[in-house]
Structure 1
Amino acid sequence: MALLEVKNLSISFGGLKAVDGFHIDIEKGQLYGLIGPNGAGKTTVFNLLTGVYKPNAGSIVLDGKNITGRSNIQINQDGVARTFQNIRLFKDMSVLDNVKAGLHNHYRYSAVEGIFRLPRYFKVEREMDQEALRLLDVFGLADECDFKASNLPYGKQRKLEIARALATQPKLLLLDEPAAGMNPNETAELMDTIRFVRDTFDMTILLIEHDMKLVSGICEKLTVLNFGQVLKEGPTSDVLHDPEVVKAYLGE
C-alpha cells in the first residue's frame, strides 16, 4: 500500500478549475517530485494536501487513513508537514524555540501547569529542549541554537525550516521549492540535506521544484502538472525526456 494515495482531487475558484482530477501514489520512503509551469496548480495541490483548502471532489489517504477535508492542524497531527517557497520561520525567536514550536504536537502541558510553572511544565520544557537540540545537531545548527532565526544565513534558514517540520514527527514531508533563491553551491548542499533527511528519518518526501538539476538529481519519480491536470507521471528520466513535458514545461 502506498503511504499517500490521492484520487480525483479537484478544486475550483470562481468557476475556474485550479486542480482537476489530480492523482498520485507515493510509496513509503520515496523521494517524489511534483513539477510543472508557473500557475499549473502545484502549490494548490500542496494546500489541498495540508488542509489549507478543502477539495470539491476526490480523496486523500495517508497511511491508510482518509484525511480528506480535515483541518490544517488535524492533518499535521495525522503526519503531514511542509515547508514554504518563502521561508516562514519565527524570525524574532531563537533557533531553538523555532524547533520547539514544532514539538508541541507531541509534548504537552496544561495552561495551568504553564501559568503556575508546576513541575510538569519544567519536565516537558527540558524534554523539548533536549529533542530540539538533537534535531539541530543533526543539521549542524546546535551551536547556533540561541541565535535569532533571522540572523542565520539563507541556506541555514532553509535547514532550520526543515528541522522544525521534522519536529512534528511527520510521515510525509512536503517541500515547496526548497532551492528557491539559492546559488549553485547552496543547491548542491540542499540536495545532500534532502537525501540525508530521507535516509536518516526514514522519511517520505514530496517536493515542488523548478530547478531541474535538483529534480533530476534526487527525485525517483515525477508527476507533471499542467493547467491543473496531470500531464505525465513516472520515473524521473522518462518523464523529463517525454516530448509533451519538454514542450509544456522545459520549453525546448
Structure 2
Amino acid sequence: MSGFFSAIAEAVSAFLGFIDPLCGPAGLFRWFAEGTLLACGDAGWGDEIAVGFLVTASLAVATLPVGLLLGFFIALAKQSQERSLRLSADIYTTIFRGLPELLTLFIVYYGLQILVQNLLSALGYQGAIEINAFFAGMIALGVVFSAYCSEVLLSAFKAIPRGQYEAGYALGLHHGRTMRLVILPQLIRVALPGLGNLWMALLKDTALVSVVGLTDILRQTGIAARVTKEAFLFYSIACALFLVLAFLSSLAFSAIESRVKRSEVRR
C-alpha cells in the first residue's frame, strides 16, 4: 500500500516537474541563483526546495477534491430529513473542527497504520505496514477541510430559495437533475468566496505534514537552514513560496468568480 501511494505521489511530482518554476529549464533558481546556496544541482539547495514546492502544491491539489466531495455529502446530510444522518454529520463536523489539525494528522498517520495492520493481521498477513506520509496528510487535511467546507456549502444551500427546487420539479426534472442543472450552478456561485478562504487555509496547513516526514517546502527549507546555519535566508524563501502559491490561488479564484458571474448574466 505504501508503495502504491508513493508511486502516485512520484507521478504527480513528475508531471509538475515539466513546469518546475524553480529548477526547471526556465526556473528562477537555475537562471538567477547559480553560485549561491539556492543553486540547482549539487552546488546548492535549489533542487531540494523545488521538490518541496512541488510536493506542497501536489498535496493541496490532491486534498481539495477529497475535501469538497466529503463536505458536499456532509452538507446534504445536515439538511436531511433523517435525524440519524443529521446527528452523524453534526458529530463529524464538531470533532474535526474542534481538534487541532496537527493532532488530526497524528491520529490519521499513526491510527490508520495500526488499523490497517490489525485488519491485515486478522487476514493472516504478518508483514509490517507503513502508511505513506503523503496519503496520511491528504486524508487528515481532507477531513478537516471537509468539516469546514460542509458549513460553507450548508449556508449556500440555505441561501437558494426553495422555489428553485420546485421550479425544477415543475419542468419535469427528477431530484438528481434538478440538483445538477438548477441547484449546483447557484451553489457554486454562492459558496465560491467561502471556499476560496478555505483553500488559502488548506495551503497553509500543508506545512503541518513536515512533522511526519513529507518533503514539503517547510521540511526542505528547515533541513537547509540547519545544515547551512542560514535560517533567515531559507525560511524567507519558504515564506516567499507560500505567498506565491497564495497569489496564484487568488488570481485563479478571481478568474473563476468572474466566469461564474458572466455565466449568471447570460442566463
TM-score, normalising length from structure 1?
A: 0.30
Structure ID, larger Rg? 2
Higher strand share: 1
TM-score, normalising length from structure 2?
A: 0.29
Higher helix share: 2
Q: Which has the higher contact order (CA 8 A, sep 6+)?
A: 1
